[in-house]
Chains A and B, each alone.
Chain A
Amino acid sequence: MATFVDIQPTQQLDPIKGVKKMPLEEFFTSGHRTCQGCESALVMKLMAKAAGPRTVVLGSTGCMYVANTTYYSTSWVVPWMHTQLGSSGSAAMGAASGLKALMRKGKIKDEPINVIAFCGDGGGADMGLSAISAALTHPDYNLLILMYDNESYANTDIQLSGSTPYGAHTTFSPPGKMKRIMHHRWKKNMAGMLAAGHPTCKYIATVCMSYPLQAMNSVRKALSIGGPTFIHSLDPCPKGWDYDPMQSHEMGELAVTTGVWPLYEVEEGVIRLYGKTKEIAEGRYKRFPVRDYLLRQGRFAHFTDDDIDYFQSKVDQMWDKWLVPGVIPFLKEVETDHPPK
């Protein structure tokens, strides 16, 4: 295959050695309309900071479009363009292929330019899944698709998405008199699914901005390695999850330390767990009970102990039964599933 694929050089973005070595300049800055304590806005800021000035960013419909850019005003320093809800994959392909053609044909200066398309969980895990999947099968375009996952359509009044956790209260899944749990689907395993399904994709990672250094270095690796890449970021959302904005950072840490959100990267097909997740997998760190995470959020306030136990059992299964713990949900034998009545 390689002989038919002509790959352009990428920018070589070296890992940032520590928070003290962090570049000072911002490329996504203030003046947006996002909520107090919006972790997704933090993702935008640190993603742009990691990528640097020679970058084009394409943003799918969602909070990071509506709240960030209020016409005739913006928060972006680097070029930014809106793309349709399900089009992050197509947008990245379009910009990357356009730049590539123009450079090859000598119509513009030949230089590596980062192309990043972002989408929320609605735009990525739901509507945009096929376009993202297609983009990841094109080894000849250098692009990064970053999915900021705040676990609901938070921009349209918080409706459930394929990425909303089991049982969560949303405007489309309100706990009622007859049904306590309206949303009984389990969260899609986006990064795992994409890594397993796109063998030629060189880099797929999960991140959380409560661990900014690793997250930013993930972005840098994704932009340097060549070809299409994907990063899935879990973003605590004070608005949709219903918690005090001051606790955004802590909420992200809890998602990881309870084992609900595993941190890993799949580089050239090689899986590597990192941070607390690695310690959990190696038994060097005892997972916090999910109760500590769930009951800090209003969206789970209606949970009974049975619901919490069930949630815990599913997370335990991730770590104790999955073929690749936390990543690939294949089991060695059939498990029975008993959600609470």
Chain B
Amino acid sequence: MAQAVASLEQQADKTALITGSEAIAVACKLADVDVITAYPIRPYDTVMQYVAKLVANGELDCEYIVAESEHSQFEIVKHASAVGARVFCGSSGVGWMYAFEALTVTPGLRIPMVAMVGNRALDDPGAFGVEHNDALAVRDLGWQLVWVDNPQEALDTALIAYRVAEDRRVFLPCAISCDGAFLTHSQALVKIPSQEKVDAFLPPYNRGDLLLHPDNPITVAPQVNEDWLMEIRRQTAAAMERAYTVIREAYAEFEQIFGRRYGNPFFEEYQTEDAEIVLVGMGTLSTPVKVAIREMRKEGKKVGFVRVRWFRPFAAEELAKTLGRFSAVGIIDRDFSLGSPYLSGVLATEVRAAMYPAAKRPPMLDFICGLGGREVTLPDVKKMSDIVYHAAEGKPQPLTQWIGLRE
């Protein structure tokens, strides 16, 4: 293995200027996906446009099915995966919601589907811009949820997602969230690894004794009564528990084979070593936040940033330990959870829950920001930082505040 890896490292990656959607389409090609289903909705549909080109040009050999609805889209790949095919699917906003029934049943059946969510605000009103509520809606159902913030990470994470989802210890679906527009529609330079590297990293999908095939006669998902359901839920819970380990293993081997380092798989830390306060967020808002942090540091404000990558499984203990190091924490939610504790967003609610058992619990504020694709500006970030500083100094602050709102 070691030697094989060494020889792989010699292979130069090709560089291409592509969007996050295109990067994931390329990952599908590298992963030799067998069945892909498409249905139009902005912004995720760009990935399917690229996939269609790859298929039309003979670069990707798969069954490419244009379904008649998102519900069918996800049901088709669910059954394709059950007979042993590697599958890819995706959607956005209310399209994802239209597929909700299919999304609900997939984890329990232990279907390692990989899907892309082009994060989009939910109707009504119809808006193409980013909000995270679409993907977050499945957070309780057994889907693994990961947020990326650039096309390179999109490609890499797609490969990692297959590796993790298809690990027999896990066998749970994984949704890769890409912020609409910022990631789905803007191009960046991306290193495309060689097929050999990918083959070394990603073993074939083996469904084992869960395979739906005449050679393995089984009955899948019969009706249960109250004598059985708790045991079945417990099995799925155990799989999600095991995902922590499998994700770590996957990132470690990814670094070994592809030479790209992501550090802690679950969340990225930016300039936190000496930080007094930190902001926490997901997705592409990382860019304005990082730039603003660099500027604030010139003014002597020691602000750091923690970007949550894996929302499910959620690295509660680690994150609590990390955030405990700072004198105050500000969470930026590109989502909302109406009527939730302290009327805040989903991320803030989860982080607070994670912090509760922690030894050190700094003041925590939530900011609702950048909804519907509204820009998260540098002044926004500075404003949020100032507020967090006030909290650090013990000045009482409202627990949830809307930033960048006309008022």
Are B76 and A55 in contact, CB atoms less than 8 angstroms apart?
no
Instruction: Say whether A258 faces chain B, with CB atoms less than 8 Å apart.
Output: no
The CA of A56 and the CA of B214, in the complex, are separated in Å by 7
Are B217 and A134 in contact, CB atoms less than 8 angstroms apart?
no
- Shortest distance between the CB of B220 and any CB in chain A (Å): 4
Given the contacts A84-B102, A99-B83, A131 and B222 also touching, CB distance less than 8 Å:
no
Are A98 and B223 in contact, CB atoms less than 8 angstroms apart?
no
Give the number of chain B interface residues (Cβ < 8 Å): 42
Are A94 and B61 in contact, CB atoms less than 8 angstroms apart?
no
The CA of A44 and the CA of B132, in the complex, are separated in Å by 44
Which residue of B61, B62, B72, B84 is within 8 Å of A108 (Cβ)?
B84
A residues near B223, Cβ cutoff 8 Å: 65-66, 69-71, 82
Are B219 and A74 in contact, CB atoms less than 8 angstroms apart?
yes
Instruction: Say whether A208 faces chain B, with CB atoms less than 8 Å apart.
Output: no
Are B214 and A101 in contact, CB atoms less than 8 angstroms apart?
no
Give the residues from 257 to 276 in chain B that come closer than 8 angstroms, CB to CB, to chain A: none
The CA of A54 and the CA of B216, in the complex, are separated in Å by 11
B contact face: mostly helix, strand, loop, or mixed:
mixed
- Shortest distance between the CB of B231 and any CB in chain A (Å): 9
Are B102 and A87 in contact, CB atoms less than 8 angstroms apart?
yes
Which residue of A74, A93, A105, A130 is within 8 Å of B34 (Cβ)?
A105
Are A98 and B34 in contact, CB atoms less than 8 angstroms apart?
yes
Given the contacts A102-B84, A107-B204, A130-B69, A94 and B75 also touching, CB distance less than 8 Å:
yes
Are B67 and A98 in contact, CB atoms less than 8 angstroms apart?
no
Instruction: Say whether A73 faces chain B, with CB atoms less than 8 Å apart.
Output: yes
Name the residue in A53, A82, A97 with the highest tally of chain B Cβ atoms < 10 Å from its Cβ.
A97
- Shortest distance between the CB of B106 and any CB in chain A (Å): 10
The CA of A217 and the CA of B284, in the complex, are separated in Å by 59
- Shortest distance between the CB of B56 and any CB in chain A (Å): 11
- Shortest distance between the CB of B209 and any CB in chain A (Å): 12
Are A94 and B77 in contact, CB atoms less than 8 angstroms apart?
yes
Instruction: Say whether B213 faces chain A, with CB atoms less than 8 Å apart.
Output: yes
Give the residues from 214 to 273 in chain B that come closer than 8 angstroms, CB to CB, to chain A: 214, 216-225, 228
- Shortest distance between the CB of B69 and any CB in chain A (Å): 7
B residues near A92, Cβ cutoff 8 Å: 79
Are B68 and A58 in contact, CB atoms less than 8 angstroms apart?
no
Are B72 and A87 in contact, CB atoms less than 8 angstroms apart?
yes
B residues near A99, Cβ cutoff 8 Å: 83, 85
A residues near B216, Cβ cutoff 8 Å: 79
Are A82 and B221 in contact, CB atoms less than 8 angstroms apart?
yes
Given the contacts A98-B35, A105-B61, A91 and B213 also touching, CB distance less than 8 Å:
no
B residues near A54, Cβ cutoff 8 Å: 214
Given the contacts A71-B228, A104-B61, A113-B214, A94 and B68 also touching, CB distance less than 8 Å:
no
Are B84 and A98 in contact, CB atoms less than 8 angstroms apart?
yes
Instruction: Say whether A223 faces chain B, with CB atoms less than 8 Å apart.
Output: no
Are B68 and A131 in contact, CB atoms less than 8 angstroms apart?
yes
Are A101 and B228 in contact, CB atoms less than 8 angstroms apart?
no
Instruction: Say whether A22 faces chain B, with CB atoms less than 8 Å apart.
Output: no
Are B35 and A101 in contact, CB atoms less than 8 angstroms apart?
yes
Are B214 and A55 in contact, CB atoms less than 8 angstroms apart?
yes
Are A83 and B79 in contact, CB atoms less than 8 angstroms apart?
yes
Are B214 and A78 in contact, CB atoms less than 8 angstroms apart?
yes
Instruction: Say whether A218 faces chain B, with CB atoms less than 8 Å apart.
Output: no
Instruction: Say whether A95 faces chain B, with CB atoms less than 8 Å apart.
Output: yes
Instruction: Say whether A175 faces chain B, with CB atoms less than 8 Å apart.
Output: no
Nearest to B84 among chain A residues (CB) is A102
Instruction: Say whether B80 faces chain A, with CB atoms less than 8 Å apart.
Output: yes
Are A131 and B75 in contact, CB atoms less than 8 angstroms apart?
yes
Instruction: Say whether B81 faces chain A, with CB atoms less than 8 Å apart.
Output: yes
A residues near B61, Cβ cutoff 8 Å: 101, 104-105
Are A91 and B62 in contact, CB atoms less than 8 angstroms apart?
no
Which residue of A83, A102, A131 is within 8 Å of B83 (Cβ)?
A102
Name the residue in A66, A70, A133 with the highest tally of chain B Cβ atoms < 10 Å from its Cβ.
A70
Are A98 and B75 in contact, CB atoms less than 8 angstroms apart?
no
Given the contacts A69-B223, A84-B101, A90-B76, A98 and B81 also touching, CB distance less than 8 Å:
yes
The CA of A186 and the CA of B1, in the complex, are separated in Å by 68
Instruction: Say whether B71 faces chain A, with CB atoms less than 8 Å apart.
Output: yes
Are B85 and A102 in contact, CB atoms less than 8 angstroms apart?
yes
The CA of A89 and the CA of B77, in the complex, are separated in Å by 12
Given the contacts A78-B214, A101-B62, A108-B84, A86 and B220 also touching, CB distance less than 8 Å:
no
Instruction: Say whether A76 faces chain B, with CB atoms less than 8 Å apart.
Output: yes
Nearest to A74 among chain B residues (CB) is B219
Are A131 and B80 in contact, CB atoms less than 8 angstroms apart?
no
- Shortest distance between the CB of B379 and any CB in chain A (Å): 48
- Shortest distance between the CB of A186 and any CB in chain B (Å): 26
Are B214 and A97 in contact, CB atoms less than 8 angstroms apart?
no
Instruction: Say whether B65 faces chain A, with CB atoms less than 8 Å apart.
Output: yes
Are A90 and B67 in contact, CB atoms less than 8 angstroms apart?
yes
- Shortest distance between the CB of A189 and any CB in chain B (Å): 21
Are A94 and B78 in contact, CB atoms less than 8 angstroms apart?
yes
Instruction: Say whether A80 faces chain B, with CB atoms less than 8 Å apart.
Output: yes
Are A74 and B214 in contact, CB atoms less than 8 angstroms apart?
no
A residues near B75, Cβ cutoff 8 Å: 83-84, 87, 90-91, 94, 131
The CA of A329 and the CA of B326, in the complex, are separated in Å by 75
Residue contacts A-B, CB under 8 angstroms, 20 given: A56-B214, A72-B228, A79-B213, A81-B220, A90-B76, A93-B72, A94-B79, A94-B80, A94-B83, A95-B82, A97-B63, A97-B65, A101-B34, A101-B35, A102-B34, A102-B83, A107-B204, A130-B69, A134-B68, A138-B65
7 extra interface residue pairs, beta carbon distance < 8 Å, beyond A92-B79, A97-B35, A98-B84: A84-B105, A87-B72, A87-B102, A97-B65, A101-B85, A107-B204, A134-B67
**Interface on A for B, CB 8 Å cutoff?**
53-56, 58, 65-66, 68-74, 76-84, 86-87, 89-95, 97-102, 104-105, 107-108, 113, 130-131, 133-134, 138
Lowest 7 CB-CB distances: which A-B pairs, in order? Answer: A94-B79, A69-B222, A98-B80, A98-B85, A90-B75, A74-B219, A82-B221
